[in-house]
Amino acid sequence: MTQVSEAPARTRAQISERTLRKDPWWRKPALVATLLTIWVLYATVRVFTGHWYWVPQYHYLTPFYSPCVSGECVPGSSSLGQWIPAIPPIIPYAFVSLPFVLGFRLSCYYYRGAYYKAFWRAPSACAVREPHASYSGETKFPLIMQNLHRFFFYMAVLISILNTYDLVQAFRGPDGAFGIGLGSIIMLINVVLLWAYTLSCHSCRHITGGRLKNFSKHPARYWIWTQISKLNTKHQQLAWTTLGTLMVTDLYVMLVASGAISDLRIFN
């Protein structure tokens, strides 16, 4: 009787190279890591500086200090009042909004993918072997907290309303009447793009209509979902653009507030 030998167990192709990609796959994660690091360093320095965040004659308030609720805030800059006594800026003056802004960006679906690749190398690029021995993704603490993105979205909407209030104030001249300066224009661009970034969020897309099974029964929500979906395709671009506009807005307010430059006034 002929003996039939068992087929060997099938295993994956044993290829020792981490990747066989020949394109410069490392460039994008390196660029993302560099830009995010620069931005975080700049923002960290600025929120703890405690100076040059408010231009009293033109009512410019940098978004990094909105709302200015510390007792240290200079007169006129506290649109929501001062909630705590004067303390050194070891606590950022806008401590009520900054954690939510940070949480919104950290849990954003675009940024998550970007920083997992750029910093955590999980993976660095597609089809490039990651260096970790095990992987549990967003199933365990702390990364399971990413599911709170929607909560941060709700807070981001409130903060965008506050930014809009600050913008309206920035269209007042030295006498309190209507006025326009270069700072007002920069703040306008920033706030419009911040709204676009906030509303293009995947959570917003879900809440407005994505959660429905039957669009035909909810034509108004379907229309809103369609518009948000169009905006959502630009979420990545908006994520980067708003980092830039936040930085430019803050830098401009800082330069004017410190007296390094004068605001270019267009009207009043």
Binding site for other proteins (CB under 8 A): 8-15, 17, 19-23, 109, 112-113, 116-117, 122-123, 126-127, 129-130, 132, 134-139, 143-144, 147-151, 154, 202-203, 205-206, 210-211, 213-216, 222, 232-233
Residue among 2 and 216 whose Cβ is closer to other proteins:
216
233 CB-contact burial (10 Å; exposed 0-12 / middle 13-18 / buried 19+): exposed
Q: Shortest approach of other proteins to residue 114 CB, angstroms?
A: 9
Residue among 89 and 210 whose Cβ is closer to other proteins:
210
Residue among 39 and 215 whose Cβ is closer to other proteins:
215
Strand, coil or helix: what is 100? Answer: helix
- Pick from 234, 230, 226: which is nearest to 210 by CA? 226
CB atoms within 10 A of CB 69: 21
Q: Shortest approach of other proteins to residue 218 CB, angstroms?
A: 10
Q: Shortest approach of other proteins to residue 130 CB, angstroms?
A: 5
Q: Shortest approach of other proteins to residue 134 CB, angstroms?
A: 7
Each as own residue / partner, the long-range contacts of residues 27-34 (CB below 8 Å, 24 or more positions apart, any chain) are 28/117, 28/125, 29/117, 29/118, 29/121, 29/124, 29/125, 30/118, 32/114, 32/115, 32/117, 32/118, 33/118, 33/119
Q: Rounded to an integer, what distance in angstroms lies between the CA atom of residue 189 and that of residue 257?
A: 19
Residue among 32 and 61 whose Cβ is closer to other proteins:
32
Q: Rounded to an integer, what distance in angstroms lies between the CA atom of residue 33 and that of residue 27?
A: 10
Residue among 213 and 259 whose Cβ is closer to other proteins:
213
Q: Shortest approach of other proteins to residue 125 CB, angstroms?
A: 8
Q: At what angle do helices 182-199 and 149-169 cross, to 10 degrees?
A: 160
Residue among 3 and 216 whose Cβ is closer to other proteins:
216
Indicate the length of the chain as a whole number.
Answer: 268
Q: Shortest approach of other proteins to residue 17 CB, angstroms?
A: 8
